[in-house]
């Protein structure tokens, strides 16, 4: 990649920013408003998971579709659908609009998110892939950062409809930029694949282990983004202050990811070290708040989780891209995103269910333990793949 080629990746960064803004901006707003809405912790976890449950159902399909028709049309179509469902969330009142809008946004993101990852992989090479996946992840983290803060301002000003309208405008802008600036990535010939072949691909260590890392990372991240504002409100921090805690997480992640990606490209950080180290930091951060729910602990948790996400995510994606033939990059990224979204949906569900049966601290403790367990599996499984 030369410096002249960099602008064609910028619209893909904005697409990543859009899905992060949509998922976690609304999630943080829900966490801060949960007491006013009157949900139980389990209902709160289910609502957080709606976006990701939609992605779980459709990401493999859209990933494979991008291999067949090209990544650009799938990205543009997904962004336009994201805008349309955001309008639904804005104009349909009450819980119905919130549920339809959030589920529809997740379905639309299932098209443009894995296709954007596949495009980043196809438009880079082995010597720069970690760096550019780091930048792509960094812009997603900026979506996590600006989503909660701008979401707080928009919700205070005009309620949830104002946030949905802003997301609709963002999706339209991103679709236009992709259509104008992203080149058509050639569709490559593909050999016929049976269900048995697909099953073999999904259980190879080169796919399974980094996907487990991504699942554990995003599961813990979803819990942090949803539950840190909830705990902040319970501790009397306020809506803007509670969302600012999530911003700390996202800013740290956005700084760390490009650095880690560059270190990986230069051979200074292996996939194994980045993945295991990142999961360890995430587990430590969540365990800290589980053991001592205090405003200082919440900020420390946000910083540790952000650093852990920043370490594990770019190396896992770079490893997947480096071990996947270009002609099935979309299918692999879609399948990997499926595993990732299972973690993203499962994290809030586990934390919410356990917290409902006990207290929030125990729910967070279970998530910390599961994240640490994934780190142990990555430590063992990446010995032969890194």
- Whether the predicted pLDDT of 1 surpasses 50: no
**pTM for the structure as a whole:** 0.78
Dihedral sign, Cα of residue 82, residue 16, residue 47, residue 160: negative
The domains of the chain, with CATH numbers, are 3-181+195-381 (1.20.1250.20)
Q: How far is CA 28 from the centre of its chain?
A: 14
* Beta carbons of 131 and 79 less than 8 angstroms apart: no
Query: How much is the mean pLDDT over the chain?
Result: 82
Interval 229-282: pLDDT, tens: 888 888 888 777 877 888 888 889 889 999 999 898 888 889 899 999 999 999
> Residue range 369-376: average pLDDT?
93
Q: What residues contact 344, with CB distance under 8 A and at least 6 apart?
A: 49, 52, 55, 215, 218, 219, 221, 222
What is the C-alpha separation between 230 and 251, in angstroms, rounded? Answer: 20
What is the C-alpha separation between 10 and 6, in angstroms, rounded? Answer: 7
- What the block records as the tokens of 293 is 């729910």
* Beta carbons of 155 and 242 less than 8 angstroms apart: no
Q: How far is CA 160 from the centre of its chain?
A: 21
Interval 167-210: pLDDT, tens: 999 999 999 999 998 887 877 766 665 556 556 666 676 788 88
End-to-end CA distance of the chain: 24
Q: How far is CA 310 from the centre of its chain?
A: 12
State residue 370's pLDDT score: 93
């Amino acid at each position: 990649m030369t410096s002249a080629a960099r602008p064609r990746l910028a619209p893909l960064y904005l697409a990543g920013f859009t899905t992060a803004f949509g998922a976690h901006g609304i999630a943080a707003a829900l966490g801060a408003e949960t007491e006013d809405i009157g949900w139980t912790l389990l209902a709160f976890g289910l609502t957080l998971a709606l976006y990701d449950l939609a992605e779980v159902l459709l990401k493999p399909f859209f990933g494979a579709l991008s291999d067949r028709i090209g990544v650009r049309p799938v990205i543009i179509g997904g962004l336009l659908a994201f805008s349309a469902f955001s309008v639904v969330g804005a104009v349909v009142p009450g819980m119905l609009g919130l549920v339809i809008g959030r589920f529809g946004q997740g379905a639309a993101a299932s098209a443009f998110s894995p296709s954007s990852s596949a495009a980043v992989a196809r438009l880079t090479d082995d010597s720069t892939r970690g760096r550019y996946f780091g930048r792509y992840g960094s812009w997603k983290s900026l979506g996590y950062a600006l989503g909660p803060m701008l979401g707080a301002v928009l919700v205070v000003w005009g309620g949830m409809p104002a946030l949905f309208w802003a997301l609709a405008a963002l999706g339209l802008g991103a679709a236009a930029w992709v259509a104008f600036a992203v080149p058509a990535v050639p569709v490559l010939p593909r050999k016929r694949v049976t269900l048995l072949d697909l099953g073999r691909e999904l259980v190879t260590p080169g796919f399974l282990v980094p996907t487990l890392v991504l699942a554990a990372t995003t599961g813990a991240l979803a819990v942090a983004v949803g539950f840190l504002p909830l705990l902040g409100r319970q501790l009397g921090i306020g809506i803007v202050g509670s969302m600012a805690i999530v911003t700390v997480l996202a800013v740290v992640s956005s700084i760390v990811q490009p650095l880690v990606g560059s270190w990986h490209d230069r051979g200074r950080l292996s996939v194994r070290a980045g993945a295991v180290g990142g999961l360890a930091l995430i587990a430590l951060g969540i365990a800290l708040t589980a053991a001592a729910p205090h405003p200082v602990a919440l900020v420390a948790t946000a910083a540790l989780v952000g650093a852990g996400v920043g370490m594990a995510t770019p190396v896992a994606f770079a490893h997947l891209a480096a071990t996947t033939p270009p002609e099935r990059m979309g299918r692999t990224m879609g399948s990997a995103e499926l595993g990732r979204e299972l973690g993203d949906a499962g994290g809030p569900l586990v934390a919410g269910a356990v917290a409902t049966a006990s207290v929030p601290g125990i729910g967070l403790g279970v998530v910390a333990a599961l994240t640490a367990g994934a780190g142990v599996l990555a430590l063992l499984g990446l010995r032969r793949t890194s």
